[in-house]
Structure 1
Amino acid sequence: MSISVETFFLDPSAEGTLQARIQQMVAQGILAGRFRPGERLPSSRLMAKHLGVSRITVTLAYTELVADDYLTSRGRSGYFVSDNAPEPPAFPAQRFNQGTVDWTRAIGQRFTPGLSLEKPSDWAKYRYPFIYGQADKTLFDSANWRLCALRALGMRDFNALTSDYYDGDDPMLVDFIARQTLPRRGILANTDEILVTMGAQNALWLSAQVLLNSRRRAAIENPCYPALRNILTQSRCQLSMVPVDGDGLPPDALPGDTDVVFTTPSHQCPTTATMPLSRRHALLEKAEKEDFIIVEDDYEFEMSFLKSPSPSLKSLDKNGRVIYVGSFSKSLFPGLRLGYLVGPAPFIAEARALRATVLRHPPGHIQRTVSYYLSLGHYDALVRRMSKTYHQRRQAMGEALHAYGMTIAGQGTYGGSSVWVRAPFGTDTTELAARLRDDGVLIEPGAPFFAGDDIPKNYMRLAYSSIPESRIAEGVHLIAKAVRES
């Protein structure tokens, strides 16, 4: 029996290449039981004409399905559903309901509302996306990334691809971090002092879990990265919010009973303030005198296109009091979710043991792909290209904000990818963001970054990492117009 070509159609909302979508379409029909063993598929010519694609695309899709034993080829007779194809389940799937469980009582701990920062998944469709932390496909080196991924999938790296490291990491990646990445920040570390994490946020969570309990006090910057505040709130530690000034976190404002300080000295989040060298020394001296630990989130240190970055706190630390958090996700792409922790061996041992109970280790093939991308020089080339482009966009942003009377409250001394803007008092940037979407403009309201009872509503973060330079001035004009109207 032949399967009618009219049975097939491509879902316009599906992702992937045409070949992959055709493979998925046929495989789903087999798995659902609509196509049965021995039934003949439409010829590649007929299927291509019906779907409006090239014949070679259909042929390649069929060939892959033969390799996976979904289809079988019978010479000149065409392609048929294989006798060995996966069979649909013998029982129908059942949609479960809540039943009689009272989930308001059954849930022992609550972790909602989550990050509290809203980033639309379709941000790239907006003409003016002043949105932070998203990858710009015009800058990313997809060709070399693809080659590194293919190399990592090769037989030579079979063990790195398939092995369970248990609580370990890819030695090639750890070695590169130790010999190349960290020395650029003035840090020397042994392999037992480095732990690969699922991004910086995972590193911050591990640090909080290892260092804090309900009797210990953590101090964080205000405003700060909302996810960090959520992490520390969930840890149930005692929490102090320390207001930042133009130089970042002021050491003298720290409570006397502080156990752990979380700080972003290179680019304070979100104000982008850079902590001066003198204040860094003062913070380290206070940590030694009052016996507390510092967790340094050194995000975006690579994006220093104006001048060289200040030494990291970790590089100035002579007494092992600084835990260093780095990330490849910020400079490569956010979906990578790969970062690292650097600290004294006893701390890393505990963080490693905790990580092993939750996720064992980040995927081996991702670690090996990044290892190749770093070691072959592609990463450095990407950072240079991004820095040059960000510098141009930063100039365009500054000129536009000045031209339209917007107030820059903070912009990184060494670079970065965003500016912190203060709108006139009385402006609610959350409402402003909602209105601007209709004009194709995305901004980040500042309120989620603050904690306390009297949260200012007139701040916003404008990133230039994902918007072309040619659209910055026009986008800023729309923001300034909306501010005036509000």
Structure 2
Amino acid sequence: MTLPVETFFLNPDHQGTLQSQIQQMIAQGILSGRFQPGEKLPSTRKLATHLSVSRITVTLAYTELLSNDYLTSRGRSGYYVSRNAPAPPSFTPTPNGPDAVDWNKAIGQRFSGGQTPSKPQDWAKYRYPFIYGQADPTLFDHANWRLCALQALGQRDFTPLTTDYYDQDDPQLIEFIARHTLPRRGISARPEQILITLGAQNALWLTAQVLLTQRRKAAFEDPCYHALRDILSQSRCHLAPVRVDQAGLPPEAIPPDTDVVFTTPSHQCPTNGTMPMDRRRALLERCREMDTLIVEDDYEFEMSFLKPPSPALKSLDTDGRVIYVGSFSKSLFPGLRLGYLVGSEPFIREARALRASVLRHPPGHIQRTAAYFLSLGHYDALIRRMGTALHERREIMQAAIEENGLQIAGQGAYGGSSYWMRAPEHVNTRHLAQSLQAKGVLIEPGESFFGGDGKPQHFYRLAYSSIPAGRIAEGIKLVASEIKSS
């Protein structure tokens, strides 16, 4: 029996090539049991005409399926579903009834319901996406990243691609971080003092798990990165939020019985405040007196396009009490999920063991691809290109904000990719965001950055990392108009 050509159709939303889509379409038909062993497929000419693609595209898809034993060829007769093709399940799944388990009693600890907000997955479809932390496809170096990924897939890199590192990391990536990335922040570290993580958030989680217990106290900035507050709450330690000012975390406000301080001195999240050098030294001195550890999240230092950034807090540390968190997810793309921890060897040893028990290590192919992208100079070229574009967008946004009478609550002294904004006190920016979204404008309400009761509801964040320069002024005008009508 020949399968009817009408049963084959292309998915317009498929992201891959036409060849891969045809290959996937046939493989799924076989795996689902719709195409049975021995059934004949339409000829390459007939299927190509039906799908409006070239015949060579169909031929290549058939050839790939032939090599994987999904199809077999019978001389001049054509292509057939192979007798050796993977068999579909021999059972019919039955729908599940209601759970007999009372999950309210069964769940011992809850991790849902945190304060980290979700962003629209289709943010790129909005005309004015003033949202933070997403990659701009017009700035990213697709071509060289693809080449580095292919290089990492080569025979020469078979071992780093396939090996189980257990609790170790790609030595090439570690070497680059130690010899190139950290010295730019004034930090000197040995390989034994560096651990690769799945982004900065994973680094913060590992740190909290290693350092905090139910009897210990963590001081952190208020407002702060929402995920950090969730991580600290889940650790069940005592929480001590410290309200920041224009210069970041005030050392004198840290409670004297604090065990660990979490801070973003170079670029406070979300207010963008930069901690001056005298305050950094004061923070180190106060923590030395209290015998307190410091976790420095240096998440956006690469975005310092106005002037060189101040040395990292870790570079001023002579006691080994600062644990440094870095990330490539912000500067490359968030889906990369690649960051790193730098700290004293006893701490890194425990963090390494914990990481191994949870996920062993980040994928070797991702680590080696990033190592090539960094070491071949593509990363520094990308940062320069991003800095130029963000500088232009910042100037346009600054002018538009001033022209429309909006109020800036905080901006980065060295650059960055966003403005921390203050609306009139009667404006609830969560409602403002909802009404603006209907007009194609995405902003970030500021309420979730604050902790405790009585959270301010009139703050919001405007990022310029993912919006074209030509749309910024028009988008800011819409924001201002909506605020005035609130």
TM over 0.5: yes
User: Counterpart of 1:198?
Assistant: 198
Shift of 1:23: 1.5
Identity %: 69
Q: Distance in 2 between matches of 1:330 and 1:183?
A: 19
Shift of 1:77: 2.6
Q: Distance in 2 between matches of 1:292 and 1:228?
A: 18
Shift of 1:401: 0.5
For the pair 1:96 / 2:96, whether they are aligned, the reply is: yes
User: Counterpart of 2:172?
Assistant: 172
Matches within 5 A, 1:81-480: 81-114=81-114, 116-480=116-480
Q: What's the TM-score, normalizing by structure 1? A: 0.98
Q: Distance in 1 between matches of 2:225 and 2:216?
A: 21
* Aligned residue identity for 2:481: K
Shift of 1:10: 2.1
SS in 1 for 2:282: helix
* Aligned residue identity for 2:353: A
SS in 2 for 1:240: strand
SS in 2 for 1:76: coil
Whether contact under 8 Å (2:397, 2:473) holds in the other structure is: yes
SS in 1 for 2:301: coil
Q: Distance in 1 between matches of 2:190 and 2:97?
A: 52
* Aligned residue identity for 1:407: Q
* Aligned residue identity for 1:476: I
Greater than 4 Å deviation, 4+ residue runs? none
**Taking structure 1 as reference, are residues 96 and 12 closer, same or farther at Cα in structure 2, changes over 3 Å only?**
farther
How much is the aligned-residue C-alpha RMSD, in angstroms?
1.1
User: Counterpart of 2:53?
Assistant: 53
Shift of 1:99: 2.1
Please identify, of 77-86 and 211-220, the stretch whose mean Cα deviation from structure 2 is larger. 77-86
Q: Distance in 2 between matches of 1:89 and 1:113?
A: 37
Q: Distance in 2 between matches of 1:339 and 1:375?
A: 16
Shift of 1:11: 2.7
For the pair 1:37 / 2:37, whether they are aligned, the reply is: yes
Q: Distance in 2 between matches of 1:98 and 1:315?
A: 57
Shift of 1:115: 5.1
Whether contact under 8 Å (2:39, 2:81) holds in the other structure is: yes
SS in 1 for 2:134: coil
**Taking structure 1 as reference, are residues 115 and 156 closer, same or farther at Cα in structure 2, changes over 3 Å only?**
farther
Q: Distance in 2 between matches of 1:196 and 1:356?
A: 11
Q: Distance in 2 between matches of 1:102 and 1:36?
A: 43
Aligned residues: 486
Shift of 1:54: 2.6
Q: Distance in 2 between matches of 1:255 and 1:417?
A: 32
Q: Distance in 2 between matches of 1:90 and 1:115?
A: 45
Please identify, of 91-100 and 210-219, the stretch whose mean Cα deviation from structure 2 is larger. 91-100
Please identify, of 4-13 and 31-40, the stretch whose mean Cα deviation from structure 2 is larger. 4-13
Q: C-alpha deviations, 1:110-132, integer Å up to 9, x for none?
A: 11124532210000000000011
Q: Distance in 1 between matches of 2:419 and 2:74?
A: 63
Whether contact under 8 Å (2:116, 2:230) holds in the other structure is: no
* Aligned residue identity for 1:64: E
Please identify, of 10-19 and 455-464, the stretch whose mean Cα deviation from structure 2 is larger. 10-19
Q: Distance in 1 between matches of 2:307 and 2:411?
A: 13
Please identify, of 342-351 and 27-36, the stretch whose mean Cα deviation from structure 2 is larger. 27-36
Shift of 1:62: 1.8
SS in 1 for 2:438: helix
Q: Distance in 1 between matches of 2:303 and 2:64?
A: 42
Q: Distance in 2 between matches of 1:103 and 1:12?
A: 40
Shift of 1:456: 0.6
Please identify, of 280-289 and 49-58, the stretch whose mean Cα deviation from structure 2 is larger. 49-58
SS in 2 for 1:433: helix
Shift of 1:61: 1.9
User: Counterpart of 1:7?
Assistant: 7
SS in 1 for 2:72: strand
For the pair 1:64 / 2:64, whether they are aligned, the reply is: yes
SS in 1 for 2:181: helix
SS in 2 for 1:20: helix
Whether contact under 8 Å (2:263, 2:294) holds in the other structure is: yes
SS in 2 for 1:215: coil
Shift of 1:293: 0.3
